[in-house]
Structure 1
Amino acid sequence: MNWIFLIIAGLFEVGFTTSMKMSNNFTNHKWTAAFIACISLSFYLINMATRTIPLGTAYAVWTGLGAAGTVIVGAYFFNEPLSMARLFFIATLVGSVIGLKVVS
């Protein structure tokens, strides 16, 4: 169950980074509220996950999922470049996250 908490925490990390961008330096109150909700839920869920998952593993998975998800959101919604090199390193990151799950 704690791995599920960790994966959902990573998704909320993508939510808070996206909301932060959309908030326009926290001047858009709807997106600022979404940022606060997402970051609160993300931290709560990673805290729950670290009950049984080692802290270093949980943090690496959380940031890896958040980073990969944020790159994908940036490319899809904000037209940020998605070169072959970026795709390679995202795949490496996701592979590392899977590897941490396997060895934990």
Structure 2
Amino acid sequence: MALLVASVFEVGYALSVNGSEGFTNPTWSIVAIGFFLLTLLFLSIALKRIDVGIGYAVWAGLGAVGAALLGPVFFDETMTPAKGFWLAVIVAGVVWLKLADRPKRDTPTAPSVL
């Protein structure tokens, strides 16, 4: 759950950095710093239970997809079919990484007969 929250804050950070116009807009710059601190806080909480490679990949992937999907909503950006395809590839990769990180179930073994 902390990783998903961190990803949401990462999207907010990316969008607010864009809105800060190179940190020349003070309001958006302060918002960006706030999102940055929150995303790092929740990412560090998530990494207590998740391998850093998996956690970082999921965080960065979801942040990138969220920013790419919301960029056209808030800013003058475009979403082309090619961008949509590659975002879907990122999402699939994130899902597969998370599935690969699941603990394996212990399969019951038959009792040994002596």
Per the normalisation by structure 2, the TM-score is 0.83
Q: Residue 29 of structure 1: which of 18, 26, 29 is its match?
A: 26
* Structure 1 residue 25: Cα displacement: 2.2
Could you tell me which amino acid in structure 1 is paired with residue 52 of structure 2?
L
Higher RCO (C-alpha under 8 Å, 6+ residues apart): 1
Question: How far off its partner does 1:27 sit?
Answer: 2.5
* Partner Cα distance (2:9, 2:96) in 1: 22
Query: 3-state DSSP class of the match of 2:24?
Result: coil
CA distance in 2, matches of 1:79, 1:35: 19
* The structure with more helix, counted as a fraction of residues: 1
| Runs of 4+ that moved beyond 6 A | none
Give 2:75's match in structure 1, choosing from 73, 78, 81.
78
CA distance in 1, matches of 2:85, 2:100: 22
Provide Cα deviations, 1:10-55, integer angstroms capped at 9, x if missing partner: 1111111111111122222221111111000101111111111000
What is the percent sequence identity of the aligned residues? Answer: 37
Count of residue pairs the alignment pairs up: 101
CA distance in 1, matches of 2:10, 2:99: 22
Calculate the aligned-residue CA RMSD, in Å.
Answer: 1.1
Report the 3-state secondary structure (helix = DSSP H, G, I; strand = E; otherwise coil) of the residue aligned with 1:94.
helix
Instruction: Report 1:42-81 matches (<5 A).
Output: 42-81=39-78
5+ long unaligned stretches in structure 1 = none
